[in-house]
Structure 1
Amino acid sequence: MLPDPFSTPCLHVVYRPDLGQLTGRWLRSVTEAELHAGYTALRQAALHHGCGCWLIDSRRRTNRSLNGPEWVTTDFLPAVQQALGAPLHVCFLVLPDYLRSLPDALPGAAAGGPVQFARFVDEGAANAWLAARAPAG
C-alpha cells in the first residue's frame, strides 16, 4: 500500500478508506522534534481524511527516553479530537516488554469519553478493537 502524502522520514502514514482507519508506523526511534513532526503529520492526515480511528505502530521506536506517551495521551489526542469534532479512537501497537513496564493506571481518556485509546502487542486484536469503534458507514 502506498504511503499517504503526510508520511515523514520517520513515520509511514496510510489511510484505509475501506476500513475508515489511519495507520501510522514508526520506522525507528526518533528525537523529540521527529516525534512531534510525526504526530503533526498524523493530525494533518486525520483532518484531511476526516478519520477518527487510528492504529499507531510504535514497535520500532525502541528508545523510550522521551516523555512521548504522556504528551500524546494528555495533550495531543484531546486537541486532535477537538479539531476533528468527532470521537477519536487510537490503538498503539507496542512491544511486550514496553507494555509490561507501564503503570497499571495511566492518565488518559475517561471511559465513554470522546478520546479512547488502548495499547496492544497483537495487531489483529488492535484492528478488532478499532473495528468495533468505527463509525457505521
Structure 2
Amino acid sequence: MPLLETNAVALDYLEYQYRTDLEVLVGRWLRQPTEEELRIGYHRLLEAAETFEARLWLIDARRRNHANQQATPWMVETFFPLLGERLGPPVNLAFLFMPSHLKDLEQDVKVPPLTYFDGRPYRVQRFVEEQAAMHWLGTCRTFGPGL
C-alpha cells in the first residue's frame, strides 16, 4: 500500500512534499526568497516532480512579502518551458497568493495574463484559497489534457 504522502523536504525558505493520495506536488514558500533561492527552489520542485512524475503542482506563496514579479521573465522564458520537456504535458500549476499579491500580479503589465498559457504544455492558474486550487487540480487530474 503506498504512503499517503512522502516525507516533507525543507530548505529554510521552501518546504515541499509529494502527496500520493492526491497526486499533487505541494511546495510552500516559508518566507520571501532571494532571486537565487527562488530559482534553486523551483529547480528542487522540478527534481521532485520528476521523481514522482508529478504533473499537478500546488505552489503556496502566501508567506512571501510580495509576489516576486522581478522573477517573472525567468519563470516564463526559462523555467516553465522546462516543465513540458522534462515531465511531459500537461503540467498544471496552481499558485496560491495573498489577495494583495494577486492584485499586484494582475495589474503588472510585465506579468502575462493567464491566457498566455493557453496551448502550452503547462497550465497556470492563480488562487487565494487553497480549497479552490485543489479543486482545480483535481479537475485537471480527472479530465487530463483536454481541460
Partner of 2:21: 18
Match status 1:3 vs 2:8: yes
TM-score, with length taken from structure 2: 0.81
Q: Percent identity?
A: 37
Encode CA deviations 1:1-35: one digit per residue, 9 max, x unaligned: 6304xx32211001011111000000001111111
CA distance in 2, matches of 1:73, 1:110: 10
Match status 1:134 vs 2:120: no
Match status 1:28 vs 2:31: yes
Secondary structure in 2 aligned to 1:56?
strand
Q: Contact 1:8–1:41 at 8 Å: present in 2 too?
A: no
CA distance in 2, matches of 1:126, 1:65: 20
Partner of 2:76: 73
Partner of 1:50: 53
Encode CA deviations 1:48-93: one digit per residue, 9 max, x unaligned: 1100100000011114456123422342122122111231100100
Q: Which runs of 4+ in 1 moved over 6 A?
A: none
Structure 2 unaligned regions, length at least 5: none
Partner of 2:125: 118
- After alignment, is 58-67 or 127-136 more displaced? 58-67
Report the CA distance shift for 1:132/1:64 in structure 2 as closer, same or farther (over 3 A). Answer: closer
TM-score, with length taken from structure 1: 0.86
Q: Contact 2:84–2:122 at 8 Å: present in 1 too?
A: yes
- After alignment, is 107-116 or 74-83 more displaced? 107-116
Structure 1 unaligned regions, length at least 5: none
CA distance in 1, matches of 2:30, 2:63: 6
Match status 1:84 vs 2:84: no
Higher helix share: 2
1:135 deviation in Å? 5.5
Q: Aligned partner of 2:28: which letter? A: R
CA distance in 1, matches of 2:101, 2:82: 25
Q: Please, what is the CA RMSD of the aligned residues?
A: 2.3
Secondary structure in 1 aligned to 2:106?
coil
CA distance in 2, matches of 1:95, 1:9: 20
